Amino acid sequence: MAKTIGILTAGGDSPGLNAAIRAVGKSAQRRYEMHVIGFKDGFSGLIQNRHIRLDGDSLSGILSKGGTILGTSRVKVHKVDVGDGTRIDMRPMIQRVVEDHDLAALVCLGGGGTQKNALRLHKVGIPVVTLPKTIDNDVWGTDTTFGFDTAMSVATDAIDRLHSTAHSHHRIMIAEVMGHNTGWLTLGAGLAGGADAILLPELPFEVQAVADSILQRKAGGSNFSIVAVAEGAMSAADKAEHDDLRRQLDELDDDADDSELRERLNTFHVGRKHSTERLAEKLEELTGLEARVTILGHVQRGGTPSTADRLLATQLGTAATDAIADGVTGVMIASRNGEAVPVPLEEVAGNRKSVPLDHPWIESARRLGIAIGD
């Protein structure tokens, strides 16, 4: 009997997901004569056994489509909210679904949260293989993730477009870029788009230092500036406050009441929601230039995947099928030095790939005189 592979997409949508689904499906069928089924809406659909057959017709024409034909959701498999606030470990139910379909493996496409979920399934004996997907490029163990190149191109194009209006109105134009708690998108798009200041989560910034760099440009005859700021970037003062709250929580005894500290931390994060607008107000005050904010948001996640993302998703997808055919599971198929390499999930899950402070892109930014805020 032909083997069957299951596949799902989880977490945020990302360009290249459909290319990866197509790669797994077509290579499984054509090279190994395996059947492929897709579970709808991520781990939620897996738990409910909502699936479709992925064959020639359903895989045709999806290579260039953004999003995911399977749908997605955010679910933690070991504590699923069943609607009344009760959380249940759904791994036994998932195990039954996997056994009912006699799956050789379950392929999970996703970012950091998906890698954690996959490891939880692996630990209870469910055969899983993952592919690294996220526009944030923060999955540990892989040189890059599919979705990143497309999103970086979108952000670069947006910054390009801000130059003309910034110059026309003599303004500071601030572009808030996605990236969760890492600065890969902002750094790449800011550098490629010619930003004058780039603010990253990895480098807490001093607002005065940013203002001083803008004033230096103004004194040199440049009466506008472009600032690319990551959504997770913090001023040095905010970073100190955040880290102090986290430290106090970590130092509490296990049986201590932490409700007050957690409320203060929650209040801190709520206040951060408008941090880019507050940055704009402060830069206006310090420079005398009008500042305007453009929040790129989810536009970075949508649209047609780039050539690079299609190629990466295809390479990793076909490699995942090869691994399953060889009986290799419990791994993420990573991109390393142009090769598709299996990496144990134990090494990946729970780790984040941040921008190293000595990364060549940061060094290039400094040599160009781009303000990093430190």
Catalytic residues: 136
Three-class SS of residue 88?
strand
DSSP string, 28-85: HHHHH--EEEEETTHHHHHHTT-EEE--HHHHTT-TT--S-TT------TTSEE-SSS
320 in Cβ contact with 24 (< 8 Å) = yes
Q: Report the alpha-carbon angle 238-365-225, nearest 5.
A: 70
Bridge-based pairing of strands 172-177 and 4-9 is unpaired
Measuring CA to CA, which residue among 338, 336, 319 is closest to residue 328?
Answer: 319
Report the phi/psi class of residue 16: left, alpha or beta, with left for phi > 0 and alpha for psi in -120 to 50: left
Q: What is d(CA 374, CA 363) in angstroms, rounded to the nearest whole number?
A: 13
Strands of the chain (E only): list them: 4-9, 35-39, 51-53, 80-81, 87-88, 103-110, 128-132, 172-177, 197-199, 225-230, 291-295, 331-336, 339-344
